[in-house]
Structure 1
């Protein structure tokens, strides 16, 4: 077991205890030697993640910072759901909230429009960043070095004849998205599908994206910009505060 794994095991043990625990108790519960437990707890004490008194060791509030980004995103998804429901009902199109995770677009919230045929997407679905409107908004909100690193380590699939996969072309597109404040993907992920997305920012940093997806036969690119974009931007402004 690596030092990191031992440290996490000790942290988990202390966090799950209902009252302060001793080195001996942590050792028994984790199967680690007392020496290993003592070293891990010493490090966690220095970092402020655990505290110590005469009864033993207990988790401190500083440990909450480890899960703050995850908890914040889940809170954002919960706040977004009623907004997505309202957008769906007013626009009669499916609406989603997504974030970037492991070089993919991860769907966090979704309001599905009732159609005879609909895209099979749900919370937890993943799509490539380069060929989706939300993915491009999320990439456009990253520093140039992050964009370059993503393009260097990924192989981008060309889903349709329109899909942009070339590195230079994508960088130009991302620059345009950042300048415009929104992204439109026109039949690049699948023939017959269009979508538009806007960023959701917190403290000046893009943390998520909102989008509306539609059939190309139902709405043109101009329709998306004129009819859908203002409503999306209004919802994003609410989520960004």
Structure 2
């Protein structure tokens, strides 16, 4: 079972700092642990995943249960729907999602595919908005879903915000674990690919993040040109070629990015 790493700034502030609230940090780590495991968890599960003493994990869980964020049958603990309020607060206050959503709806309708929006968070791209075409069923990535930066179209676009030296240092510090047989894990090659993507203004990843799946992404820039997000469209390889993705999906994505830039401050 993977342990949840403490945020980097937690170590920087230090437990003896008056600015740092250790109990709040522990509570948030416990909530995150449920998302990482995707199942109800025992007290021992939580303590191990969060690297906490059992007694501490128990106090955190009881506090979250009292506050309505956790439910329990005295053996297994699970999150309640109230946790969705935390995500709703973020989405409601996030300017990028608010600006992009209607534009993404137009792109999705034009392309007849799911259009998703991701932002940078650590070594991952996190999806914060999604638009689907008007049809009975459409598969796509859920909000809050995380993907590695180095092998995804949105991730490579987001890494393109770094200059060459920063990019090289960032990739060198990453553990590049192959997601599929097609995943590029050679670090100099990954760096060179991201630089090339930055130059041409988009990234197209073919079966590196998921078998049989390819996607194309463009940077979303704010008014001053800084990259703040990435928007993509993906499809299974049996439905579309890479050339068709460039011809069909790239133009509407680029138009959306151009329309959004002066609106994002």
TM-score, length-scaled by structure 2: 0.62
Moved more, 170-179 or 141-150: 141-150
Per-residue CA deviations over 1:43-88 (Å, capped at 9, x if unaligned) read: xxxxxxxxxxxxxxxxxxxxxxxxxxx8998111111111111111
Secondary structure at 1:3 match in 2: coil
- Equivalents in 2 of 1:125, 1:97: separation in Å? 11
- Equivalents in 1 of 2:200, 2:209: separation in Å? 21
Pick the aligned partner of 1:196 from 216, 219, 228.
Answer: 216
- Equivalents in 2 of 1:72, 1:136: separation in Å? 26
Structure 1 residues 225, 148: closer, same or farther in 2, change over 3 A? same
- Equivalents in 2 of 1:75, 1:111: separation in Å? 16
Q: Give the C-alpha shift of residue 125 in structure 1.
A: 1.0
Pick the aligned partner of 1:3 from 13, 18, 30.
Answer: 18
Structure 1 residues 171, 128: closer, same or farther in 2, change over 3 A? same
User: Where does structure 2 lack aligned partners over 5 or more consecutive residues?
Assistant: 1-15, 25-89
Is the counterpart of residue 172 in structure 1 residue 192 in structure 2? yes
Per-residue CA deviations over 1:22-54 (Å, capped at 9, x if unaligned) read: xxxxxxxxxxxxxxxxxxxxxxxxxxxxxxxxx
2:231 maps to what in 1?
Answer: 210
2:248 maps to what in 1?
Answer: 227
Q: Is the 8 A contact 1:100 1:208 kept in 2?
A: yes
Q: How does 1:79-94 map to 2 (within 5 A)?
A: 79-94=99-114
2:155 maps to what in 1?
Answer: 135
Which stretches of structure 1, 4 residues or more, deviate above 3 A after TM superposition?
A: 70-73, 112-117
2:120 maps to what in 1?
Answer: 100
Q: Is the 8 A contact 1:142 1:206 kept in 2?
A: no
Secondary structure at 1:81 match in 2: helix
Secondary structure at 2:168 match in 1: helix
Secondary structure at 1:234 match in 2: helix
Q: How does 1:105-184 map to 2 (within 5 A)?
A: 105-113=125-133, 114=135, 118-119=139-140, 121-184=141-204
1:237 maps to what in 2?
Answer: 258
- Equivalents in 2 of 1:115, 1:161: separation in Å? 33
Secondary structure at 1:179 match in 2: helix
2:86 maps to what in 1?
Answer: none
1:21 maps to what in 2?
Answer: none
1:64 maps to what in 2?
Answer: none
2:65 maps to what in 1?
Answer: none
Q: Is the 8 A contact 1:186 1:195 kept in 2?
A: yes
Q: CA RMSD in A?
A: 2.3
When Rg is computed on C-alpha atoms for both structures, the one with the higher figure is 1
User: Where does structure 1 lack aligned partners over 5 or more consecutive residues?
Assistant: 10-69
- Equivalents in 2 of 1:174, 1:132: separation in Å? 10
Count residues with an aligned counterpart: 178
